[in-house]
Every structure is written in structure tokens, then in C-alpha cells.
A = this chain, B = another copy of it.
Amino acid sequence: MPIKIDSKEAALKFIEDHDTFLFDCDGVLWRGNTPLTHSADTLKLLRSKGKQIVFVTNNSTKSRKQYVNKFTKLGIDAKADEIFGSAYSSAVYLDKMGTFDKENKKVLVIGESGLEEELHEAGFKTLGGADPALNRDFGPEVEKYAIRDESIGAVVCGLDLKINYLKIAYAQANLRDPRVTFLATNVDSTFPATDMILPGAGTVIKSVSFCSGREPDATLGKPSKAMMDCILEKFKLDPKRTVMVGDRLNTDMKFGANSGLDTLFVLTGVDKVEEANKFGVDPTYYADKLGDIFELLE
């Protein structure tokens, strides 16, 4: 059973035992567009004690730069360098694979502008993404997209609110060539919006995957170990002094546990501490909310 952080002593020890704090965002720092009580204050407290902070999000629609705006709007200090999203993670992964011919090959992006932006920053040339030429019905004049384009060396898929048949056909036609790398930013089945649940990135991945007869060569995003490896390497972290904070058992908690990190489970999301067994995870700590740490030490 996880240790509950409900005393000043527990909160102090939690802070002392770790140098780096990885944070899931939605359900931990905010819900939808509402900041959660004292989350921002807890982050400030950690910073004042010289702790390192990294924000880890599966949202692939925004680049790190775009994500900073969201933090600012919600009154939370964050630098682009502290944010680790699945779009950035995909770009880093493709780069590290070392087999992609950046000079002569392009990446087909099925996803939004954030994903494109991260790939461009990493030096990749892209096709697809937010290109308005793809926002149209399938028909004779766009059939060319359903034919293999030899300039494409990888297909990277993420959440795309403008997904359509043409884009699926475009991805499929190129994925039929086994030499083309297939990356998925994440495979979340849904994501919570204000008052509703919406289809997640996994919806796009599953359709592309099914018609092309291929599974992604790698899936970034929590809980994948590929993403954690990218984080640990980029920030040169000691896993023993790092803790993952999140509200989801099967993504955040599994993500931390899979790499031997301590984990803090907060109850401001949909999951309950009693459900931990169901997902085969055992968080190190839990708290009613992240803001409790600030409140206990105030």
C-alpha cells in the first residue's frame, strides 16, 4: 500500500528524498482549463528548494513552445525546456534511431501543428500535418495521395482533430512499404475535455494500423519505456532520486514504475487508489491532491 502524504513530516521526507519531479499535467496541475488548488504553489515550493521539474504530457497536438502558453494562462511558471511531450519525444526518438536519411527523406505527419513543429526543430522535413490540401474529401483529384511516395521514409501519427479518409489512405499507401518507419506519439483511447470525453490519439493509430496491416515500430508517450529513456537521458537523471507524479494508474503510475522510479498518485483525476491492483501497479505515495504538499508545509 502506498504511503499517504498527510503530515508535515511525510511531505518533507518526500521532498528530501528526490531531486527531480516529473509531473503529468491534466488532472494534477489543472483539470480542463481550471488550475487545481495550490498545485502552482507546490511547484514554486519545489523550485525554491532547488528541485528540478519536468512536465510530461501525452498531448501531441502542441509543441513545447505552444504548451508554455497553456501554463502561462493557468498561472504556472514553466519553460519550454522543462516540457516533455509525446510530439517532442517522437522527434527525439526518430532522430536517435539514426537510420533516417534526413537529407533525402521526409516524414509524413498524421497529426497537428505541434507535432510538425517538433519534427522541424529536430531537423526533419515533413509532409502532411496541418497542410490544408489534405482537408478535403477523397476523390479522383486527390488519388495521388493514395499512392506510395518514395520520398517518405517515416510516418508519425498522433491525435488529429482533422483526421479524415484521405489522410488515412495517405498513411496506409506509404506504410505498405516495410522500409517506412511507423511511429505513434501515444495510444490513449480517449482524453477528457470539459463536460465530455473525446477520442484520443489511439483512435487515429488503430485505423491507420488496421488498414496498413502494421503495428507501430514504436509508441512514444506514457507509459512507454521509450519515452522515459528519452527523459532520463536528456536530463541526465538518477532514477533513484526521481519521482513521477500523476493521476492515472495505467499511464502515469505504470510509466514511473516500469523504470523503477518512485511514484506519487494524486486523487484529483478519475482513478482511485483502491484500483491500483487492477492495473498491477503499486504507487510509492499517494495524496488527495498535489497542493497538499504546499498546504502541509505552509
A:191-217 near B, CB below 8 Å = 193, 195-200, 202-204, 206-211, 213
Main secondary structure of the interface of A (DSSP, over half): mixed
Inter-subunit contact A189/B169 (CB<8 Å): no
Inter-subunit contact B196/A147 (CB<8 Å): yes
Q: Given the complex, which residues of B lie within 8 Å of A198, measured CB to CB?
A: 138, 146, 169, 172
Q: How far is the CB of A213 from chain B (nearest CB, A)?
A: 7
Inter-subunit contact A211/B207 (CB<8 Å): no
Complex CA–CA separation, A213 to B199 (angstroms): 11
Copies in the complex: 2
- Partner among B162, B193, B203, B210 whose Cβ is within 8 Å of the Cβ of A189: B210
Q: Given the complex, which residues of B lie within 8 Å of A163, measured CB to CB?
A: 164-165, 168
Nearest neighbor of A148 in chain B, beta-carbon distance: B196
Interface size of A by CB at 8 A reads: 36
Q: Given the complex, which residues of B lie within 8 Å of A137, measured CB to CB?
A: 135, 161-162
Inter-subunit contact B161/A138 (CB<8 Å): yes
Q: A137-B161, A137-B162, A165-B161 are in contact. Are A199 and B207 (CB under 8 A)?
A: yes
Residues of A within 8 A of B (CB): 135, 137-138, 143, 146-147, 160-165, 168-169, 172-173, 176, 189-190, 193, 195-200, 202-204, 206-211, 213
